[in-house]
């Protein structure tokens, strides 16, 4: 802020000095544009229509424009927009033997510039010479958390276009996070599905079987029997089960295991008789 104040103070002083020492009526830049239009007005021929109205015609192309000096207007609209007489208006002004500078807008003249830069910006001392205030120091206002969820999106301009449609992934090459291959994602990955199927097939546990020793000292192979739920039941040569691993519980599992008891006992007796004969 201090730099801006110093810059404006210096600029006002410089332009004020130039405006007061300038001897012309129209300022230099508007005067240069008016001189250009005066040079181009030689090819235009004015025809007086009455009062301050003229019909200006080009000498070669035969283009025509209507000029009204009383209203400071021309049908080309250059004079209306810029405020400096166009080449058609200059031709009509020269027909009346008048000065084109009298038809320039007052804002381009010396009086307007002097009025604009007349105020003076007063210089001030440095901060070390400022008076110390006895008032209480100002504090920032207390921050209050507004209700609701805080916004994460930036505030858009009033005339900014907002698209409510998701971005298209037409030309985006997808990459699988499981096998790191391109062209598909993890949902449609065939390798990931194979891993899942292999994992589920090996979930059912198998019980550990331990060999039992008969009365003769020889080891007899246990007879594994699969019960419902993936458990394994081992029976010895004496017909009694050595170890049981059952994962199923409830009446249904006990009913099915009881139904197969007789067949297991018969198989164990046959193995015991074979071992004794050998």
**Residue 258 pLDDT class (50, 70, 90 cuts):** low
**Residue 20 pLDDT class (50, 70, 90 cuts):** confident
Quick count: other Cβ atoms within 10 Å of Cβ 168?
7
pLDDT at 256: 53
Quick count: other Cβ atoms within 10 Å of Cβ 44?
23
The answer to whether residue 46 is domain-embedded is: yes
**Domain-ending residue, one of 95, 116, 137:** 116
Q: pTM (2 decimals)?
A: 0.46
Q: What is the pLDDT of residues 212-244, one digit of tens each?
A: 444 444 444 444 444 444 444 444 444 444 444
Q: Which residues span the domain enclosing 263?
A: 213-277
Does residue 238 share a domain with residue 195?
no
Does residue 182 share a domain with residue 253?
no
Q: What is the pLDDT of residues 104-155, one digit of tens each?
A: 999 999 999 999 999 888 899 888 888 888 888 889 999 999 899 988 888 8
Mean pLDDT of the chain: 78
The answer to whether residue 168 is domain-embedded is: no
Question: Which residues have a Cβ under 8 Å from the Cβ of 68 and sit 6 or more positions away?
Answer: 52, 53, 54, 74
Query: Residue 252 in 3-state DSSP?
Result: helix
Does residue 189 share a domain with residue 250?
no
Q: What is the pLDDT of residues 42-55, one digit of tens each?
A: 889 999 988 889 99
**Residue 262 pLDDT class (50, 70, 90 cuts):** low
Average pLDDT, stretch 195-205? 60
pLDDT at 51: 86
pLDDT at 268: 63
- Rounded to 5°, the CA angle 137-143-148 comes to 170
Does residue 84 share a domain with residue 62?
yes
Does residue 100 share a domain with residue 26?
yes
Does residue 110 share a domain with residue 17?
yes
Outline where DSSP puts E strands in the chain.
44-50, 53-58, 64-68, 73-74, 212-213, 219-220, 223-226, 232-235, 241-244
pLDDT at 60: 87
Quick count: other Cβ atoms within 10 Å of Cβ 82?
15
Does residue 66 share a domain with residue 7?
yes
Quick count: other Cβ atoms within 10 Å of Cβ 104?
23
Average pLDDT, stretch 94-101? 92
Q: Give the span between the Cα atoms of 223 and 106, in whole angstroms.
A: 119
Total domains present in the chain: 3
In this structure, of 17-21, 54-58, 239-243, the range with the lowest mean pLDDT score is: 239-243
Q: Find the helix or strand (DSSP H, E) in which 6 lies.
A: helix 2-21
Nearest residue to 240 via CA among 264, 273, 208, 271: 264
**Domain-ending residue, one of 116, 151, 182:** 116
The answer to whether residue 75 is domain-embedded is: yes
Does residue 234 share a domain with residue 189?
no
The answer to whether residue 236 is domain-embedded is: yes
Residue 1 tokens, joined: 């802020």
Does residue 104 share a domain with residue 25?
yes
pLDDT at 79: 93
pLDDT at 187: 87
pLDDT at 142: 92
Does residue 232 share a domain with residue 190?
no
């Amino acid at each position: 802020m201090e730099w801006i104040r110093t810059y404006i103070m210096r600029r006002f002083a410089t332009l004020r000095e130039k405006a007061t020492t300038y001897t012309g009526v129209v300022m230099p830049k508007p005067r240069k544009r008016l001189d250009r239009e005066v040079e181009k007005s030689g090819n235009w021929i004015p025809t007086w229509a009455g009062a301050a109205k003229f019909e200006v015609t080009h000498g070669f192309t035969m283009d025509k424009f209507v000029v009204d000096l009383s209203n400071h207007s021309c049908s080309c609209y250059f004079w209306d927009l810029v405020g400096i007489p166009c080449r058609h208006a200059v031709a009509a002004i020269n027909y009346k033997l008048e000065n084109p500078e009298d038809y320039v807008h007052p804002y381009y003249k010396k009086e307007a510039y002097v009025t604009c830069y007349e105020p003076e910006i007063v210089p001030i001392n440095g901060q070390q010479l400022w008076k110390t205030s006895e008032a209480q120091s100002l504090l920032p206002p207390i921050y209050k958390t507004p209700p609701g969820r805080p916004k994460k999106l930036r505030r858009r301009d009033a005339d900014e276009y907002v698209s409510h449609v998701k971005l298209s992934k037409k030309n985006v090459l997808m990459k699988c996070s499981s096998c790191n291959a391109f062209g598909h994602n993890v949902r449609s990955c065939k390798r990931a599905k194979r891993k899942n199927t292999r994992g589920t097939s090996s979930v059912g546990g198998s019980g550990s079987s331990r060999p039992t020793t008969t009365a003769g000292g020889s080891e007899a192979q246990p007879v594994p029997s699969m019960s419902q739920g993936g458990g394994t039941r081992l029976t010895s040569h004496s017909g009694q089960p050595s170890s049981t691993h059952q994962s199923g519980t409830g009446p249904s599992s006990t009913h099915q295991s009881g139904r197969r008891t007789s067949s297991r006992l018969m198989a164990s007796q046959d193995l015991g008789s074979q071992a004794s004969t050998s």
